[in-house]
Chain A
Amino acid sequence: ILKTTYIFILLFIWTRLGLPSPLRPICDPRVLDRFIKEARDTEFAMRSCSEGCSLAEPLSVPLTSVDFAIWEKGDVSEQAQEVQSGLWLLAQAISAVRVSITSTALHSLLDNSHSNIHSIGQVIRSLNFPEYTPPADGTVHEDTWRVSSTLELFRVHTNFLRGKVRLLLSHAPACRRDST
């Protein structure tokens, strides 16, 4: 018995080390809930934005709509790609907005949103989804939407997190495997 446990421990450690993602799966829904909450606060704050909230150029943002009838039948890895590309787009848009907004209070919110998006990307990577590589030319494969104000931007940002990102994380196979 001692020998078998010893061998098992060795195998376990080796498999652990061999995994591409060293991160442990982050399956706690409260992690994303916090991000969603902060995104909503930022959206509310943007309603009072007066200066610099109009964008000169429309920014591409991901589509947030989810049809559950379709979503439930969809491929998880495709959904993961869709989510990651959308996050990347949002990060790009937020970075662009930050430049034009002069309010320092909003700057902190923007920075927070940007870091949150980055953290969500790490969470997604922890769930063993294939990593998304942004296209070099800046255009995305998936359908996008263009927003022309920061308020719209952050509304999309909130809806995206609430919707697709959350669905992806809550139904991630890595989390399901741990729970079973």
Chain B
Amino acid sequence: MRRSSTKKKSAESVATDLFRSASSKASTKEMDRIDQLFNQYANRSSNLIDPEGIEKLCSNLDVSHTDIRILMLAWKMKAEKQGYFTNEEWRRALKALRADTLNKLKKALPELEKEVRRPTNFADFYAYAFNYCLTEEKQKSIDIETICQLLEIVMGSTFRAQVDYFVEYLKIQNDYKVINMDQWMGLYRFCNEISFPDMGNYNPELAWPLILDNFVEWIAEKRA
């Protein structure tokens, strides 16, 4: 009967322990570096990265601050407030991306983009982008101009034609001054499901948001 089993460790468990302590040391070290990176951009008094900080970050990362990848980063962070990153949010993203230096972060961006563009993630990202722009409390809709910009960022590269047409339509129509989440998501479905520009498989009798019915009609009239 082994009484002192705890005292005598197997080689394996020793190795695990070593690994653990090393990795925990390593992870603490990693977290420290992440925090360090955070502090490079954060505002001293508020302990948040504010818009100024984000701009600095963007230029260091060599991306424009209207680049979709920043929005993707925000998504990865699950950032709540547009223009601001909290420490917790920062940690969340960079830990997941395994990026504790600026360089590593830069290199992680293409991977991140691939991850976001996966169909399962993109719908979530698309919805996130809308919510991210709701700056006021109880705000439920976004004004036309912001929507146009947002569309350009989020869908411009994948659905070039639809975005161009839709933006043009939004600017000349008078029925709606703001777009709500329902209409925003409707547009996503539209781009994914409806063949463009013929729109042969669009059925106005189904429950598409009215703004899309009007959009389709407008295009048909233009072509006639």
Binding between chains A and B? no
Which residues of B are in contact with A by a Cβ distance under 8 Å? none
